[in-house]
Structure formats: C-alpha cells, structure tokens
Amino acid sequence: MCRIAWRSPLTSLQRIAMSFSPAVRTFRRSDRHQLTDLVNRHAAAVLPGVSTSVNTVLSSLEARPDEYVVDPWVAERLTLVTEHRGRVVAAAHLHRYRDEPDVGPDYRGAVAVPWFVHHPGGDPVSSEAADRLLAACLATATRWRARSVHADGALPCPGVYGVPAAWPHVRSALERAGFVHTGATEVLLLAEVSDLPEPGERAGRESPALLRTLGPLGTRFTALAGDRVLGHLELDTTLDRPERVGRGGGLAELADVELDADAPEGADEILARLLARARDWLTLCGIDRLLTCACPEERDEIDALRRHGFREVTRTARGWELRAV
C-alpha cells in the first residue's frame, strides 16, 4: 500500500516567488522589527530569557558606548541584510577602524564583523543567504582596504558574544567564508539566585565582616578579618536596564571574584559567605539569575561555582580571523 502526500498545487505567483534568490542589501529602518526578532532568536538559544529591544538594536548600529575603549576608534559602520521573499533571513554589522596612531595595534586599519546572524535551515536557501551576506561583508572589507578582518557574535544583549555552541549554523558559515577560530573558548555559567548559598546557613558561625562598596565593575562585597582582606566579589546589576531589554529582565553578572587561598576558613567557605551576601542583595534588586564566565582550564574555579549553585549553560568561541579561503 502506497502513501500519498497531498500538496496544494503551486500557483504561478508562488513559482515565481520560489525562484527568487536571496538578495543582499543595506539595512533599512523598516527592517528593525525583523532584525530584532532575528537577534533575539539567537540570544534566546544561548541564555534563557535573554532578549533585547528594538531601540537597543537600532542604537547599537550607531554606537556602542559600553565599549568605551574601542568604539571611538571606529571610523565607519555598515549593516547589511539578506532578504528572501520579503523576509530578513540574515544580517551582519561591520566596523572599519581608523588607521591612526591612537588606535590599538590589533585594531588599526582592521575591519570587524561584530556580529553575524542568520536563520538556520536544512534547505540550500539558508546556506546561500548566509554565504552571500558574508561574501558582501568581505567585498566591503576589500573596498575599505582592510589590513585584517575579524568576526564575533557580540549581540547587543547581555552574555551573548563569540560564537556560542548553540550556533553551529553561524560557525559553519564563518568557516565556509574563510574565518578560523584563533582566540579562546569560554564557559558560561548561570545560577538561579535562589540556588546560591542562603545567608541563614552561616548566621550561627563566627563570620568575617562583609563590606559593601562600589568597585570598578559593579557593587563589591569584601570579606574582612580585621585589616586582612579574605576575598571579594563584584556584581554588575545594570545588565537589564529597561531601555536595553525587550521584556522584564532579572539578570546580573558576577563580574569579578578574588579569594585569599590561605584564608583560615578556606577559600571555598569565603566564597560561600560572599555568595550568600550577594544572594540577599540580588533578591532586594529583584534579580533572579546570576551569570559568570570562566576559561575551561580553570577547573577548580568552575567546580567551586558549581558547588554553590552555578551550572554550565554553553561554551563560546571568541576571536575569529579571516585566513586564506
């Protein structure tokens, strides 16, 4: 017995539409909602609940004030999209850096693709859309007479950078275009604030004093025994500012941790006390998730974070450079 798959006959207009190839063009303001949707789909595959707003995406095409060191070095910006049947299926943002003495040597005269995203799919059109877009990016780099060309996946939302493991389609497209991974790989770890050590667990023990101050990266909590610093951590609670996100946030970053390995109570106990204080503070801030990162070789640090509520959510490959195709 044979199976019959019933399909509606294609109209002439549908056949014509299917014959259209993906076309690369410059970004238009009318693309903003489709572009934001494409960005958010990629972000959501990396970190749960992460999204960005249309205004943030548009603003990031003009400037990245959070990148206060390298952003002033950018001489020209360009955003390209691939359109297929009226849909934005791929997008890339480009930077041309000034070739002047005040620009860092690794950036001087370089062209960067800070982010590149495209709809995955098993059909040839998906790969063609990505390949055409990257070819246009490289043609632009040639026109700009780039000394070198670099790529990344630093989307305008927290915790999404490099080429995460959740984006094999992006990695494949970059490799087909001639990019190779030359940088480091980082482990992204996430904890629910409710899974961090509870302050009450250590209330009955003789504990060091905990001082809260403003640190270079955020709110700093320092553990002290007299004049001796036993360790500190810093929290960046500004990741989910209302103008940055598409919906209610609740994400902060554990931006820095430093512990005295010779602390009388042990470094792990000091970490637990600091995280317990951080839990209390984050709860008051209305934040329910805490993000951090580590290098894979930092096994002791990763194990310590896992003992206190963190879990690995992905790994991301930073630093992509164009080599011979």
206: containing domain: 190-316
At 6, is the pLDDT very low, low, confident or very high (cuts 50, 70, 90)?
A: very low
**Cβ-based neighbours of 178, under 8 Å, separated by 6 or more:** 138, 322, 323, 324, 325
Which of 181, 203, 226 is the C-terminal boundary of a domain? 181
Q: Count Cα neighbours of 180 within 13 Å in the Cβ-side half-sphere.
A: 5
- Alpha carbon 4 to its chain centroid, in Å, reads 46
Co-location of 159 and 203 in the same domain: no
Co-location of 172 and 222 in the same domain: no
Asked, for residue 5, whether it belongs to a domain, the answer is no
Distances (CA, A) of 35 to 54, 61, 82, 88: 8, 11, 11, 7
Asked, for residue 38, whether it belongs to a domain, the answer is yes
Asked, for residue 6, whether it belongs to a domain, the answer is no
- Tell me the pLDDT of the chain averaged across its residues: 91
Q: In what order do the strands lie in the sheet with 23-26?
A: 23-26, 74-84, 87-97, 111-118, 149-151, 320-322, 179-181
Per-residue pLDDT tens over the stretch 107-122: 999 999 999 999 998 7
Q: For residue 313, what pLDDT is reported? A: 98
Co-location of 225 and 291 in the same domain: yes
Co-location of 246 and 167 in the same domain: no
Which of 125, 150, 181 is the C-terminal boundary of a domain? 181
Residue 154: which of 199, 101, 189, 113 has the closest Cα?
113
Per-residue pLDDT tens over the stretch 254-286: 999 999 999 888 999 999 999 999 999 999 999
Co-location of 242 and 177 in the same domain: no
Co-location of 208 and 76 in the same domain: no
Asked, for residue 66, whether it belongs to a domain, the answer is yes
Per-residue pLDDT tens over the stretch 185-203: 999 999 999 999 998 765 5
Residue 270: which of 205, 195, 188, 187 has the closest Cα?
205
Q: Distance between CA atoms of 191 and 5, rounded to whole angstroms?
A: 47
Share of residues in the chain with pLDDT > 90 (%)? 81
Q: Which two tokens stand for residue 312?
A: 């690995």
Distances (CA, A) of 1 to 4, 5, 6, 7: 10, 13, 16, 19
Overall pTM surpassing 0.85 (yes/no): yes
Co-location of 67 and 143 in the same domain: yes
Asked, for residue 1, whether it belongs to a domain, the answer is no
Residue 27: which of 71, 90, 74, 85 has the closest Cα?
90
Strand pairing category for 179-181 and 149-151: unpaired
The region, left, alpha or beta by phi > 0 then psi within -120 to 50, assigned to residue 85 is left
| In the block, residue with structure tokens 């195709």 | 325
Asked, for residue 31, whether it belongs to a domain, the answer is yes
Co-location of 171 and 281 in the same domain: no
Co-location of 88 and 208 in the same domain: no
Across 313-324, average pLDDT? 94
Q: Residue 294 is part of a domain; what is its CATH number?
A: 3.40.630.30
Which of 124, 146, 181 is the C-terminal boundary of a domain? 181
Across 32-42, average pLDDT? 98
Paired strand residues for 207: none
Q: For residue 205, what pLDDT is reported? A: 57
Co-location of 83 and 203 in the same domain: no
Asked, for residue 321, whether it belongs to a domain, the answer is no
Per-residue pLDDT tens over the stretch 211-229: 999 999 999 999 999 999 9
Asked, for residue 322, whether it belongs to a domain, the answer is no
Co-location of 194 and 262 in the same domain: yes
Count of the separate structural domains present in the chain = 2
